[in-house]
Structure 1
Amino acid sequence: MSSDNRSSEDGQSGEGVFPEPLPLETLFHKYGIERSHADNVARNALELFDILHSIHGLDHEIRKFVEIAALVHDTGVVTGFENHHKAGRDILRLHPPSELPERLWPVIAWTAFLHKKKIGKKKLRKLKGKEFEKMPEDLQDFTFRVASLVRLADALDYSRMESRLGKVTFGKRGVRFEIEGQGAAIDAERMAKKGDLWHLLYDTKLEFRPASKK
């Protein structure tokens, strides 16, 4: 990753760095974002947003933001896979999508950071020692809620086999998703793992299983 953003591994930004917003299409070309994966994750995120709306309660006007967050979640992958969540955060802090209002620029960067690794209570506590804590509490909460959807949406395309959401069943305390497609078993398992942040935020349990073959 270029050092022009002067941002360190622990999330502390360098002084004198001012964001330079870029259009989405410029971000795609500049950072070699895998367009097919980004589009699939955005599609998945919007479906999950709609299906789970009665639970997450985010305003409908936030739907477009969730789509953009999904489109740029892999911005840092050009630097290598292992730490691309950190690189993506730093890139998006320097070059947030110009389609977004300035107040939400930090949210898009931290959503990218939160999309990859396992998340538990300890990980959330560690964020308190980073720039993340400088955001207003409402934006911190908003970031977690958006990231919980993007994590699931990303997991649904983990196999890159065009998996899709199938039948959805609402129970008293949970929601069961059937996953369709050749990679359904792989992606259902991945969604179960990436549902960790969701389950820290909400009492409604999500379950994922491959759709039965007819």
Structure 2
Amino acid sequence: MNTNKISAGENIAGNKEKPSPEPLDLEALYHRYGIERSHADNVARNVLELFNILAPVHGLRPEFRKLVEIAALVHDAGVATDLENHHKAGRDILLLHPPANLPEKLWQVVAWTAYLHKKRIGEKKLKKLNEKDFGNMPEDLQALTLKVAALVRLADALDYSRMGSKIGQVSYGKQSIRFEIKGNGSAIDAERMRKKGDLWHLLYSTKLEFVSEIKK
């Protein structure tokens, strides 16, 4: 048994007496928690592209690009510890070992982004977040976390097939943006992006559409 890893039943976020965070750099996190590096790199690439394309809508300042990238790189930190509940395990791991590459103020943003990246999100789930430690965060950090998570969910979905899908042509409507997804797994990943766009559509009025490329 690897004592460095958090057990499936351990929930740092719910403990009354929480251990002090011990930051780790990204390489240490990759090594200790067996993060799938190729997927992490693809999701980070995807999220930065989405950050740029959607900047007029999400309104995040350019200095948050690093935050979004690192959140993408470690979003699956809990997979090797507890595959079924890796969103919870990842949150707990990142609360205990936040990325040393970020300022302390943003550590919880990364941890809760990991928690929010996996399952379907609706109004009911967003309201329930306030019953967790998420609700104790300052409101500006809560809002920032949701925006980062919305982007990471889409970036993760774009690599769902693990077949190297990429964003192709982007078309802009009055209240919509249409993405063509390219690659052998484009049909799978476009469908996944449609599902994982739920949080984005709760936060923003601009509708996102995802279609697989039409191969000639």
Do the structures match in fold with TM over 0.5? yes
- What RMSD over aligned residues (CA atoms) do the two structures have, in Å? 1.5
Partner of residue 79, structure 1: 81
Contact residue 46 and residue 63 of structure 1 kept, 8 A = yes
Which of 7, 28, 31 is equivalent to 2:30? 28
Measure, in 2, the Cα distance between the counterparts of 1:60 and 1:16.
33
Partner of residue 160, structure 2: 158
Q: TM-score, normalised by structure 1?
A: 0.96
Counterpart code for 1:34: E
Measure, in 1, the Cα distance between the counterparts of 2:6 and 2:187.
38
Q: Which residues in structure 2 correspond to 1:120-199 (within 5 Å)?
A: 120-199=122-201
**1:99-119 deviation line (CA, Å, top 9, x unaligned):** 110001111100000000000
Measure, in 2, the Cα distance between the counterparts of 1:36 and 1:207.
26
Measure, in 1, the Cα distance between the counterparts of 2:150 and 2:174.
21
Counterpart code for 2:11: S
Unaligned residue ranges in structure 1 (runs of 5+): none
Partner of residue 94, structure 1: 96
Give SS of 1:207's match.
strand
State the Cα distance separating 1:6 from its structure 2 match. 5.2
Which of 33, 58, 69 is equivalent to 1:56? 58
Give SS of 1:50's match.
helix
Contact residue 6 and residue 17 of structure 1 kept, 8 A = no
Matched, 1:7 2:50: no
Matched, 1:203 2:205: yes
State the Cα distance separating 1:17 from its structure 2 match. 1.1
**1:34-79 deviation line (CA, Å, top 9, x unaligned):** 0000000000000000000000010001001100000000000012
Q: TM-score, normalised by structure 2?
A: 0.95
Unaligned residue ranges in structure 2 (runs of 5+): none
Give SS of 2:44's match.
helix
Contact residue 158 and residue 186 of structure 1 kept, 8 A = yes
Contact residue 6 and residue 89 of structure 2 kept, 8 A = no
